[in-house]
A = this chain, B = another copy of it.
C-alpha cells in the first residue's frame, strides 16, 4: 500500500421516482428511476494510518462503508494473523453539507467514496466498474438504498433504465444542467418503506419511467416525479405544501425519495418564499480528489 491517504468526492443524488427490483444476487438488485446528481455531495478521505469511521468529525457506524472496506480486504480485520491480516486500522472521514437521512444518498456516497479512495490509498488495482459494483452491493445489503450508487458514479441527470451494478444495470441521462434548490423537513426511513409492500410504488415508478423516456427533459422528470409521489402514497404534508407553493409561483418542484425533502429547478423555492440550500446538477459523477492540484 502507498501509506498515503486518498480522497474522493461523490455528488449527492435526489431520486424523483423509482421502482424497486429485488434480486437473488445483490449486484443484479436495484431500482429503475430517475433523479438529479448534485454539486453538494460527500467527500471521503481514507487514511491507511487512521482509525475508525467519522461523519462530519463525529464517530459513525455506516454499515455499507464497513462492507466496502472488508470487500477490498483493507479493513484491518482482527489482527489474528490469518491470511496475513496485520490487524491495522483504517481511517474513513466523510464530510458533507447535505442533510443525512433526508433523501440525498449520503450513505451511498459514503460507500462509493470509500471504495474509490481506499482503492487509491491501498493500491487495490480495481477498475471503476468493480468499485461501483462493490459499493452498490454494500448499499443494497445494508438496505439503505437501491439506485443512488450507480447514479452517483455517473453524474448528470441519470435515468436508471435497468437495475443493478455495472454489468447488470443500464443507464441513460437527461441532457441538462440546472441550478437546484432544496429544503428538508426531516428524515424518512428508506429501510422502512422498502421493507413494506412496494407493489403500488413500483407500478407508479414504471409509469413515470415510461413517461420520462418518451420526453427526456427536466420539466418532464419533475412532473413524472410529482405524479409518482402522489400515486405511491409517499407525499408528506409539509412536502406537498412546498411543492404546491413552488407551482403557484410558476416553478417546478418534486419530493426527494426517500426524505422529507423538496427540490426545485432554478429559483423555484426562493420564488415561493422558502430559504433553500442552493447547488447545481453535477456534471462529473464520483471521482478521486487530486491532492496535488
Contact = CB atoms under 8 A, between A and B. Distances in A.
A110 interface: no
A196 interface: no
Given A166-B172, A290-B177, A127 B159 contact: yes
Nearest to A288: B177
B175 A156 contact: no
Q: How many copies does the complex hold?
A: 2
A60 interface: no
A284 interface: yes
A287 B292 contact: no
A230 interface: no
Interface string A130-174: 010000000000000000000000011001000000100000111
A128 interface: yes
Interface in A273-293: 280, 283-285, 287-288, 290, 292-293
Decide if the interface of chain A is mainly helix, strand, loop or mixed: loop
B175 A131 contact: yes
Contacts of A172: 127-129, 166
Interface string A18-36: 0000000000000000000
A191 interface: no
Contacts of A189: none
A77 B280 CA distance: 37
A125 interface: yes
A128 B176 CA distance: 9
Given A116-B175, A119-B175, A172-B166, A287 B128 contact: no
Contacts of A175: 116, 119-120, 126-128, 131, 288
Interface stretch (A80-88, A212-220, A238-246): A212-220
A127 B176 contact: no
Contacts of A120: 175
A283 B292 contact: no
Interface centre among A123, A131, A172 (most CB of B within 10 A): A172
A82 B216 CA distance: 28
Interface centre among A123, A159, A217 (most CB of B within 10 A): A217
**Nearest 4 pairs between A and B by C-beta?**
A284-B284, A128-B173, A283-B284, A127-B216
Given A119-B175, A127-B213, A280-B290, 11 more contacts: A120-B175, A125-B217, A126-B175, A127-B173, A128-B173, A129-B172, A131-B175, A177-B290, A283-B285, A284-B284, A284-B285
Interface of A: 116, 119-120, 123, 125-129, 131, 155-156, 159, 166, 172-177, 179, 213, 215-217, 280, 283-285, 287-288, 290, 292-293
